[in-house]
Amino acid sequence: MDLLKLRFCKFHVNNLVSICVFLLVMVMIMRTILLPNSFAFGGSKNGEFESLKSKDVRMKFLEVPQIVWGLNNQKIAFARACLTARMLNRSLLMPSLSASLFYKEIDQLQPISFDKVFNFEKFNSLCNGFVKLSRYSDLTNQSDLIELQKGSGRRWTIEKDLDQLNEFSKQDFDVYETIRVVGKNPFLWHDHWPVSDYAKVFECLVLVDEFSNEASKVVSKIRELGSNLKSVVSSNETSYVAIHMRIEKDWMMHCKKREQRSNLSDICSSKDEITSRVANISGLRSPTILYLAVANELLEDDSILNGWKQGMHPVDKQRLGVVDIYDKYPYLIQAAIDYEVCLKADVFVGNSYSTFSSLLVLERTQKMIKMGVSHCGTDVRWPSYAYNLEGEFGGPRPWMTNFSDSSLQEISYGSNKVSC
């Protein structure tokens, strides 16, 4: 009798366990059917991305066209693509950049993979929880996609563009593994994000070691020259001033046309205007090393090292003896190295209508803010100036990025609003 009771109890317990397991499985199946997004990548919570729960979760992606034009236009285009992917709750498939400056001749674009220029792992580590970059090897089905045609022309307004993105962020499109954007370059897409969002993406862009080391070699050469001049010091311990001299013939043609269209007179600057204004920067004491970031091969004359104030020692790539470093690489990499050299300068002077200068000032402003500095002045670390705009005492106007701007418009296309 006792044996019979024991068998009955075992049967009862096993039955209960089976029923519980069955109910649990049914609950999970129903949850998957009714709440599919709870398992999808990038479920948004408080504006941030949730982490993937397991490797089996199906990720979704955004694919964009090859990114073209100059270095900083490409960086803006890349950030815009990242923020578009974030809005669509997707990961951005690692895009191709363009090593050359040609943008009309498609066969001369010289595509170069993003991870050949910027560190892929560091990008995802630094931007973790904000945006994500994926490789094409992460795709499970390359044919499981839908195309998103970006509109263009005057009738394609910023409101229409935003409506299109909102439409593609709906659940109906979750069935597709990839949304492929076709049409124009991301730099030309409408802008829907504040400067602070772009700044987060830019902060995650770290050059691969090869090019970062090349930039460090150039900086070391500049500082070595400064130490040989005996005490290159100013009131704010300046080691060197980097000047992004936009006086090349291609820029002069562009800026003169823009001045005519915009009815402005403060976009172009001659060499004489730049030398005069730099000489009047308050707080610089001689001797001072000036690194001239300029494309020498596009200059109409070779007099850029002449005419500077006594005590200022200008150097370009040739005088510094670093031409061989730059000549090894295509245009994109040369510009990336120069960008790092200017970023590390104690003082930076550029043109407020140049994207190169504008992004440099954005990053330098970011550094200042992190140090608790929120104002312009000669007594601050990482000061920047716009030589095309006249400031006090005939010097260049102090320049900081306005991080409260609701879009990157002022930086993407340049402006005479420098927030100081």
Task: Decide which of 286 and 128 is more confident.
Answer: 128
Q: How far is CA 150 from CA 157, 187, 224, 402, 407, in A?
A: 11, 12, 50, 29, 19
pLDDT tens-digit map of 63-84? 999 999 999 999 999 999 999 9
Residue 419: both structure tokens together: 């927030």
Question: In which band, very low, low, confident or very high, does the pLDDT at 184 lie, cut at 50, 70 and 90?
Answer: confident
Q: Given this model, what pLDDT does residue 16 score?
A: 52
Which residues is 398 bridged to in the sheet?
A: 385
Which of the listed ranges 30-44, 51-65, 314-328 does the model predict with the highest average pLDDT? 314-328
pLDDT over 80 (residue 269): yes
How far is the first Cα of the chain from the last one, in angstroms, to the nearest whole number?
94
pLDDT over 90 (residue 151): no
| CA–CA gap between residue 255 and residue 269 (Å, rounded) | 9
Does domain 209-412 fall under CATH 3.40.50? My reply is yes
Q: Given this model, what pLDDT does residue 203 score?
A: 97
44 CB neighbour count, 10 Å cutoff: 13
Contact 251, 301 (CB under 8 A): no
> What CATH number has the domain spanning 44-192?
3.40.50
Task: Decide which of 43 and 351 is more confident.
Answer: 351
Q: Given this model, what pLDDT does residue 12 score?
A: 47
CA 27 from centroid of its chain's CA atoms:
44
pTM to 2 decimal places? 0.83
Contact 299, 247 (CB under 8 A): yes
Q: Given this model, what pLDDT does residue 380 score?
A: 76
Phi, psi values for residue 221, rounded to 5°: -60, -40
| CA–CA gap between residue 28 and residue 58 (Å, rounded) | 17
HSE-up (13 A, CA, CB side) for residue 240: 28
Residue 360: both structure tokens together: 């440099």
Q: Which of 34-38, 44-48, 218-222, 310-314 has the lowest mean pLDDT?
A: 44-48
Q: Which of 25-39, 55-69, 107-121 has the lowest mean pLDDT?
A: 25-39
Q: Given this model, what pLDDT does residue 102 score?
A: 62
Q: Given this model, what pLDDT does residue 24 score?
A: 57
Which residues is 292 bridged to in the sheet?
A: 243
pLDDT over 60 (residue 137): yes
Averaged pLDDT, 343-358: 96
**Comma-separated ranges of CATH 3.40.50 domains in the chain:** 44-192, 209-412
Contact 115, 33 (CB under 8 A): no
Averaged pLDDT, 351-365: 96
Residue 265: both structure tokens together: 């007179």
The amino acid at 386? A
Which residues is 112 bridged to in the sheet?
A: 97
Which residue in the block uniquely carries the two structure tokens 């990499």? 333
Q: Which residues contact 113 (CB under 8 A, 6 or more apart)?
A: 94, 96, 97
Nearest alpha carbon to residue 386 among 283, 268, 292: 268
Contact 133, 82 (CB under 8 A): yes
Percent over 90 (pLDDT), the chain: 66
* DSSP state, residue 190: P
